[in-house]
Chains A and B, each alone.
Chain A
Amino acid sequence: MSLQLRDLYEGFRDAEVIKALSKRITQESEALREPLHVMEVCGGHTHTIMKYGLKQLLPQNIRFIHGPGCPVCIMPKERIDHAIDLSRMEDAILCTLGDMIRVPGSKGSLAEERAAGRDIRPLYTPLDALKIARENPHKKVIFFAIGFETTTPMSAALLDAAIKAGVENLFLHANHVLVPPAVDAIMADGRAKVNAFIGPSHVSVITGSKIYEPLPIRYGTPVAVSGFEPVDVMEGILMLVRQKNEARCAVEVQYTRAVSREGNTKAQALIERYMEPRAHFRWRGIGDIPHSALRLREAYAHYDAERVFAEHLGNEPIDDHKLCICGTILKGLASPKECKVFGTACTPSTPLGSCMVSSEGACNAYFRFAEV
């Protein structure tokens, strides 16, 4: 029997299971000594929570605080300007993943640049960039790489394939960011009320659950690494409630069908070979976070668009629109509905802030899957 796509999710959207979990959580949460403020770090979880209406199935004393885990949302304007500046170079083809096309920087969005005649191509998989580079040997093909630990191996694999194929007109602009430093930055700020974490799904498949082990020790917060389906998230919540009630505090994995403690070591080795941590990276709304992103190693500098085309790129930090509170939302200090321009001046078709652009952004999820 072959594996069908639906086999991967079907049981995890079962109405009876979801209802039973909701009931169990409601019963057991009565014993909670303080409200549970769960940060779901990853935008994929925010999407699940809103799409499946999970907030409505939880008692009053369990609240979600949406985390910074949306790679498009945390991209500061000056990095988006980099993409625009690169696309404006002569003989350049700029490739990137879906939602990046629509995020506004200080000079507009890539979508506007494309309309103005630049060659900008949204890809479904980074390896398509290699094909484009081969088909256009006289052009400079730049892959504007974004994403957390989940997509980083694909960028490393692209570079690996380009080197092996001797392709020299392909460049990477690396914007790969890391989950643990971002979580530390939010907790160190001290203002977020977070007292439990739902750990990311896909990130953890690559990194393993071990990367969260410092969290319970540093912040006294339980962690449940959960899958992206509604049953996964509900079960993760139940695990957090139980840890709290039993006065325990540990990293537990709900998403055992894909996540191990060690993670995908082959992918980790591939990243290690080609990338190294940056001294610091500026996150939209959060600011500079040390060692929170990766760049290409010195040995591969001739593939690094940031270094090769440095003369075209500015590095001045550019702040958000003054009405936009994406930064506060990404820090877990506000909910999208507290924003004055939510759904009025800022919508998915005319986004002011990055959280409204990406399907993993909290504002976009609140807009698309508005609760009744």
Chain B
Amino acid sequence: MTHIQLSHGGGGEEMNRLIHSLFFEAFGNETLLQSEDAAALHIKSPIAFTTDGFTVSPLFFEGGDIGKIAIAGTVNDLAMMGARPLYLSAAFIIEEGLALEDLRRIVASMSAELARSSARIVCGDTKVVPKGACDKLFITTSGIGEIVYGGISAHRLCAGDAIIVSRDIGAHGATVLAAREGIGIWGDLRSDCATLWGAVAALLEGALSIHALRDATRGGLAAVLNEWAVASNVCIELEEEAIPISGPVRGLCELLGFEATDFANEGTFVLALPKAQAPRALEILRAMELTCNAALIGEVSQKRPGRVILKSPWGSSRYLELPKGELLPRIC
């Protein structure tokens, strides 16, 4: 057998074999192996709870695959709330005919990504739908994390905060766009897809007053900052030149007329904290491989509450708007 068939989702013997040989093998832990209708968990602290559906096409791209994103995405959502990732669920909707080898690779990638945080998959589901009813494979993961650092919120930015971005922006959106459109770009264009818990944990232990923290996924940096400006009713002023953008991403934007600030990221976050603490935060981030390009890109003021202002090196300025009405492919 080389391809997924409808019988694999039928609830019978074939499905049992698939679950045992593939999912249990890769994700095995005491709770999952109980095979009960639901996982029984014991959590005493306040928790964060999140869910996300993943539909990226192509399934495999430079720097990652749908499995890696499905784990990193949900783990990152928890991390952004100051929560240590603990338990995940994973539901697979598989299109009839998906190569079993592809599914194995994706599951192996999920397993490898799980090892980068304290998260475990404790429950799951598998459905197989007829050809054409979905595009190869959709994965939904939900996650529960233990809040170890409370009070992080989009509503907490205040004038005098510094805005830091954890690395160069737009790599995931650019990579998936180039892969989908068959655009061969020279240079090293690869997704930033990564589990951010390690970097976030280091910040949380750094005796900093973190006001806001968010991974810049769909809508990119522009969306996160606009949401923050509105939620906290503050103005965010950015130095355009300080925003790190890699050569290949800049190249793709130049060629196709996109803005890197609109591109999705899958392993890049933005941080707001009092300006005086920015050097310490940068020092912590730059000491780690994933965030070694972290940069201070701007600060919070009261100039135009609710708006994000982009300042050019030659003295002009404009608003950075929310990305709108663009023809962007499905990327996460």
B304 pairs with A348, CB closer than 8 A: no
**Stretch of A1-9, A170-178, A304-312, A315-323 that contacts chain B:** A1-9
Residue of chain B at shortest CB distance from A360: B257
Q: Across the interface, which residues of B come within 8 angstroms of A51, CB to CB? A: 318
Q: Across the interface, which residues of B come within 8 angstroms of A359, CB to CB? A: 257
* Interface presence of A269 (CB below 8 A): no
Q: Across the interface, which residues of B come within 8 angstroms of A52, CB to CB? A: 312, 314, 316
Residues of B154-198 contacting chain A, CB below 8 A = 181, 183
B314 pairs with A101, CB closer than 8 A: no
B321 pairs with A367, CB closer than 8 A: yes
B317 pairs with A372, CB closer than 8 A: yes
Complex CA gap A368/B257 in Å reads 13
A50 pairs with B250, CB closer than 8 A: no
Given known A15-B312, A54-B316, A372-B318, contact A348–B325 (CB-CB < 8 A): yes
Complex CA gap A52/B241 in Å reads 12
Given known A368-B321, A370-B321, contact A124–B256 (CB-CB < 8 A): yes
Residue of chain A at shortest CB distance from B237: A372
* A50 smallest CB distance to B (angstroms): 7
* A146 smallest CB distance to B (angstroms): 15
Total contacting residues, chain A, CB less than 8 A: 32
Q: Across the interface, which residues of B come within 8 angstroms of A348, CB to CB? A: 324-325
* B324 smallest CB distance to A (angstroms): 4
B327 pairs with A6, CB closer than 8 A: no
Residue of chain B at shortest CB distance from A18: B314
What 1/0 mask marks residues of chain A from 345 to 372 whose CB sits below 8 Å from any chain B CB?
A: 0011101000000010000000111111
B250 pairs with A372, CB closer than 8 A: no
B318 pairs with A370, CB closer than 8 A: yes
Residue of chain A at shortest CB distance from B258: A359
* A117 smallest CB distance to B (angstroms): 13
Q: Across the interface, which residues of A come within 8 angstroms of B317, CB to CB? A: 53, 56, 371-372
* Interface presence of B25 (CB below 8 A): no
Which of A9, A15, A368 is most buried by chain B, counting CB atoms within 10 A of its CB?
A368
Total contacting residues, chain B, CB less than 8 A: 25
Complex CA gap A316/B243 in Å reads 50
Q: Across the interface, which residues of B come within 8 angstroms of A50, CB to CB? A: 318
Tally A-B pairs: CB < 8 A: 71
Residue of chain A at shortest CB distance from B257: A359
Q: Across the interface, which residues of B come within 8 angstroms of A207, CB to CB? A: none
Complex CA gap A321/B265 in Å reads 38
Residues of B303-319 contacting chain A, CB below 8 A = 304, 307, 309, 312-319
* Interface presence of B150 (CB below 8 A): no
What 1/0 mask marks residues of chain A from 280 to 322 whose CB sits below 8 Å from any chain B CB?
A: 0000000000000000000000000000000000000000000
Complex CA gap A176/B181 in Å reads 25
Which of B250, B313, B316, B324 is most buried by chain A, counting CB atoms within 10 A of its CB?
B316
Complex CA gap A6/B250 in Å reads 8
Which of A53, A124, A349, A359 is most buried by chain B, counting CB atoms within 10 A of its CB?
A53
* A7 smallest CB distance to B (angstroms): 11
Q: Across the interface, which residues of A come within 8 angstroms of B324, CB to CB? A: 347-349, 367-368
* Interface presence of A102 (CB below 8 A): yes
Q: Across the interface, which residues of A come within 8 angstroms of B283, CB to CB? A: none
Complex CA gap A202/B315 in Å reads 28
A6 pairs with B247, CB closer than 8 A: yes
Residues of A49-71 contacting chain B, CB below 8 A = 50-54, 56-57
Complex CA gap A4/B250 in Å reads 11
Residue of chain B at shortest CB distance from A128: B182
Which of A101, A348, A351, A372 is most buried by chain B, counting CB atoms within 10 A of its CB?
A372
* Interface presence of B254 (CB below 8 A): yes
* A173 smallest CB distance to B (angstroms): 20
A57 pairs with B251, CB closer than 8 A: no
Given known A6-B251, A9-B254, contact A57–B316 (CB-CB < 8 A): yes
* Interface presence of B207 (CB below 8 A): no
* A347 smallest CB distance to B (angstroms): 7
* Interface presence of A19 (CB below 8 A): yes
Q: Across the interface, which residues of B come within 8 angstroms of A351, CB to CB? A: 325
* Interface presence of B255 (CB below 8 A): yes
* B92 smallest CB distance to A (angstroms): 27
Q: Across the interface, which residues of A come within 8 angstroms of B313, CB to CB? A: 15
Contact of A372 among B181, B251, B255, B309 (CB under 8 A): B309
Residue of chain B at shortest CB distance from A22: B314
* Interface presence of A220 (CB below 8 A): no
B254 pairs with A5, CB closer than 8 A: yes
A57 pairs with B315, CB closer than 8 A: yes
Complex CA gap A358/B319 in Å reads 19
Shortest 10 CB-CB contacts between residues of A and residues of B: A53-B316, A15-B313, A348-B325, A349-B325, A18-B314, A56-B316, A370-B319, A5-B251, A348-B324, A15-B314
A-B contact pairs, 30 of them (CB 8 A): A4-B247, A5-B250, A5-B254, A6-B251, A9-B254, A15-B312, A15-B314, A19-B314, A22-B315, A50-B318, A51-B318, A53-B317, A53-B318, A54-B316, A56-B316, A56-B317, A102-B325, A102-B327, A124-B183, A124-B256, A348-B325, A349-B324, A351-B325, A359-B257, A367-B324, A368-B321, A370-B318, A370-B319, A371-B319, A372-B318
